Amino acid sequence: MKPELQSELFRRYPKLFRKPGKRLVDREVISVFDARLQDDNGPFDEHGIECGEGWFNLVDRLSGACESEIERLMAQGVPTEGWPRIAQIKEKMGGLRFYVNGPLSDDLRTQILKVENIESLHTCERCGSPGKLRDGRWQHTYCNTCDQTE
Ligand SMILES: [Zn+2]
């Protein structure tokens, strides 16, 4: 995804896309010791968002839902280390993968799975138009126009 579009998402959702990455190994632990914190530097920190522009709206919507989740956790007094954080956002087998470390509600997990397994497989990864999964040298989800100019 173009850097300027990634920057826009980072600006919209500063809590989700925060740095540095430290997370609770065990979120049930009440007392927080350094030994229970773990660096979560992952593929996202190395590579940013690894999918096409066409999925901007899908990533935007899921990121917004995660940001709201963090706001709920903040209201409950959960410290920064216990907030969800992006591990990796990428394309795999023609679909979006939106991997998050940390606690997520069942509702949010369901939303993510729906976008990964259904919506991204019907949205052109290049331009965002309605698309479908294409089997070729590798699997990608494109609209007819993008598939022909590939
Ligand atoms: Zn397209």
- Please, what are the averages of pLDDT over each run of 10 residues along the chain (150 residues)? 94 89 54 55 87 98 97 92 90 96 90 98 98 91 92
The pairing of beta strand 140-142 with beta strand 132-134: antiparallel
**CA–centroid distance, residue 134 to ligand 1 (Å):** 12
Rounded Cα gap, residues 77 and 137, in angstroms? 49
Q: What angle do CA 16, 20, 22 make, to 5 degrees?
A: 85
59 lies in which domain range? 3-121
Residue 129 is assigned to a structural domain of this protein = no
- How many separate domains does the chain show? 1
**pTM (two decimals):** 0.88
**CA–centroid distance, residue 128 to ligand 1 (Å):** 6
Residue 130 is assigned to a structural domain of this protein = no
- Give Cα 111 to chain centroid, integer Å: 12
Residue 144 is assigned to a structural domain of this protein = no
* Cross-strand bridge partners of residue 141: 133
Q: Any residues with CB less than 8 A from the CB of 53 and at least 6 apart, and which?
A: 1, 2, 5, 126, 127, 128
Residue 94 is assigned to a structural domain of this protein = yes
Rounded Cα gap, residues 85 and 72, in angstroms? 14
Residue 133 is assigned to a structural domain of this protein = no
**CA–centroid distance, residue 150 to ligand 1 (Å):** 10
Cis peptide before 103 (omega within 30 of 0): no
pLDDT of residue 19: 78
Question: Pick from 101, 4, 109: which is nearest to 48 by CA?
Answer: 4
Burial zone of 33 (CB within 10 Å; 0-12 exposed, 13-18 middle, 19+ buried): exposed
pLDDT of residue 21: 63
**CA–centroid distance, residue 80 to ligand 1 (Å):** 38
Give the three-class secondary structure for 80: helix
Number of neighbours of residue 93 by Cβ within 10 angstroms: 11
pLDDT of residue 29: 46
